[in-house]
Amino acid sequence: MEIIPAIDLIGGKCVRLTQGDYNQKKEYSSDPLEVAKRFEGAGIRRLHLVDLDGAKQKKIINHEVLRRIATQTSLHVDFGGGIQSDEDIALAFDCGARQITGGSIAVRNEALLLSWIERYGPEKIILGADCINEMVAVSGWQETSTLSVFDLIEKYLRAGIRYCICTDVSKDGLLQGPSVALYKKILERFPALELIASGGVSQVNDLHALQELKVFGAIVGKAYYEDRISLQELASFQ
């Protein structure tokens, strides 16, 4: 299982929100590159970089932070937040993203996301399937759609998508454990999916539980920043 630390960006700084609420923001570092280098130094290979300003404004804002991390570390960076146009995705890849995550766009503009899958290849696009009560959440989790997370995944698997980040918004930032039951249901239905679990990880045992499910990866954010899981513990999964 890949450990994938998350760096969420507002104003170029490393922050975390609780349940996607911009009013529940906590800043952890003014230098995301330094944080990324710490992960790299521990032997971690991947990074989940989220432009929260971009998610709110529906266009990439923090692309220079992406460029700095991509050019000054060897981390495999997947980037999301605000990628809503051909110009945005081209900018993300130009700045060094190895993959991009399409969340709201997968619901709001299916034709555009499908065109990106065809143009860049399905391995370059991660489906962002964020949900509340198994229903897909969009616009930085500010809205819940009428589409189930299972229907969304099935649609894009047919289009060739292999990777999916699934966040249970009700768990995110609360440090109350991940949605193991939800991920189990997803993997039972879609065994070929490279599922990346996100949200709720609070201790090392949560990571062991996800590893037992055989998810592809686990995103870790607040638990690390709040010193509930050490860098050495994260590195032990690599």
Task: Give, to the nearest 10 degrees, the angle between helix 149-158 and helix 180-189.
Answer: 40
Active-site residue identified among 8, 168, 172, 206: 8
**Main-chain phi, psi angles of 52, to 5 degrees:** -70, -30
What's the pLDDT tens digit per position in 198-209? 988 999 999 999
If you search the block for the tokens 């189990």, which residue do you land on? 184
Active-site residue identified among 130, 168, 172, 206: 130
Residue type, 185: K
If you search the block for the tokens 């503009």, which residue do you land on? 109
Residue 154 sits at the vertex; the CA angle it makes with 169 and 138, to the nearest 5 degrees, is 30
The answer to whether the beta carbons of residues 161 and 125 sit under 8 Å apart is yes
Per-residue pLDDT of the chain (238 residues; tens, 9 = 90+): 999 999 999 999 999 887 667 788 899 999 999 999 999 999 999 999 999 999 889 999 999 999 999 999 999 999 999 899 999 999 999 999 999 999 889 998 999 999 999 999 999 999 999 898 899 987 555 556 688 999 999 999 999 999 999 988 876 665 679 999 999 999 999 999 999 999 889 999 999 999 999 999 999 999 999 999 999 999 998 7
What's the pLDDT tens digit per position in 16-53? 887 667 788 899 999 999 999 999 999 999 999 999 99
Respond yes or no: is residue 53 known to be catalytic: no
What pLDDT shows up at residue 184? 97
Helix (H) or strand (E) holding 47: strand 46-51
The answer to whether the beta carbons of residues 218 and 201 sit under 8 Å apart is yes
If you search the block for the tokens 């616009």, which residue do you land on? 139
Residue type, 225: Y
Respond yes or no: is residue 8 known to be catalytic: yes
For residue 126, what are the contacts with CB-CB under 8 A and spacing of at least 6?
Answer: 78, 80, 99, 100, 101, 102, 161, 163, 164, 165, 196
Q: Measure the CA–CA gap between 116 and 87, rounded to whole angstroms.
A: 11
Helix (H, G, I), strand (E, B) or coil at 37: helix
Domain 2-235 has CATH 3.20.20.70: yes
DSSP 8-state assignment for residue 168:
B
**Main-chain phi, psi angles of 171, to 5 degrees:** -100, -20
